[in-house]
Amino acid sequence: MFREGKPLPTWVIVLVTTLLVLATSIPIAYHGLVSVLWAFTITTAFYFLLSRQLAFAMSLVVLLCYGGVSIYSLEPYPAIRVLIALVVNFYLVSLLARKIQRAQFLLSELANKDAMTGALNRRLLDDYLNESLGSYERNAKRSVVAIFDIDFFKKINDERGHQAGDVAIVELVKLIKENSRKSDMVFRLGGDEMLLLIRDVSIVQAQEMLERIRARIESCDVIGTSSSVGAVCCSLANSYDNWINQADEALYRAKSLGRNRVVLMS
């Protein structure tokens, strides 16, 4: 669960676990309860080295092995104490692992998503744009970056209040997500500007999608105004910065041509 990087091969996990269990459980017959302490260290370590599911399975193996050796080697009363301690430790460690995994997920959500809209933030944008540029260079898979901007957004704040402006931004993200594909990604650049990364798409498909989203925004009573869209295909970009800058230029052109339109450069 906590381990980063490439997962360990299954055979390595099985081999190491077997050696650990044999090396630390068999001495119970000669050294008594002291040897049982290794079980707590091993089962806890699993949750830092393996996935939670695999750590659970490996811990169960340790529990059964240590419990079996303890029953065979110790007096009944000490053996029962060992079993109870192992079961309690097994339960508490697995419970703690679930809690920490949930906390990690929530922290990741907070770090990577805009709290108000649920759109991804700029923290991840550079990585995904670089990935899309690399995919185009290797496999000729085209991606399109589109920047959405609500027309006359300042007027919404001035006439209807900042809360109405926030509601309009949230609705904008909702409409973009509902009318794009699951593989596409929405990022909040700041204010009312949203970036849609459309991956592995033809120019015709991208144009149709962006026009559909623009039309949905225009007809949305919650937003109450139109939007302008500037979009650029990755084939015109030589870096992610250049890609975003060109999309900004396309957005400026859409506004200068009268707003409520899509300008797609390819």
Would you list the DSSP string of 3-63? --SSPPPHHHHHHHHHHHHHHHHTTHHHHGGGGGHHHHHHHHHHHHHS-HHHHHHHHHHHH
Per-residue pLDDT at 38 exceeds 90: no
Pair 49, 8: CB distance under 8 Å: yes
What is the rounded average pLDDT for all residues in the chain?
84
Query: Is residue 263 very low, low, confident or very high in pLDDT (cuts 50, 70, 90)?
Result: very high
Q: How far is CA 249 from CA 189, 242, 243, in A?
A: 15, 10, 10
pTM given for the model: 0.65
Q: How far, in Å, CA of 262 to CA of 266, rounded? A: 13
Q: Would you please indicate which residues are annotated as catalytic (active-site) residues?
A: 192
pLDDT at 57: 81
So where are the chain's domains?
10-112, 122-265
Residue-level pLDDT at 202: 93
First to last CA, the chain: 43
Q: Which two structure tokens, joined as six digits, stand for 172?
A: 């904008």
Which letter does DSSP use for residue 218 in this model?
H
Question: Parallel, antiparallel, or unpaired: how do β-strands 185-190 and 144-150 relate?
Answer: unpaired
Question: Residue 116 CB: number of other CB atoms within 10 A?
Answer: 12
Q: Is 197 exposed, middle or buried (0-12, 13-18, 19+ CB in 10 A)?
A: buried
Residue 91 has pLDDT above 50, yes or no: yes
pLDDT at 83 (0 to 100) = 80
Look at 179 and 21; give whichever has higher pLDDT.
179
Sheet with 144-150, edge to edge strand ranges: 185-190, 193-198, 144-150, 227-233, 262-265
Residue-level pLDDT at 27: 63
Q: Are 253 and 264 in contact (CB under 8 A)?
A: no
Amino acid letter, residue 208? E
Q: Is the pLDDT of residue 16 over 90?
A: no
- Protein fold of 122-265: Alpha-Beta Plaits (3.30.70)
DSSP H helices, the chain, are: 10-25, 28-31, 37-49, 52-73, 76-112, 122-139, 153-160, 162-178, 203-218, 240-256
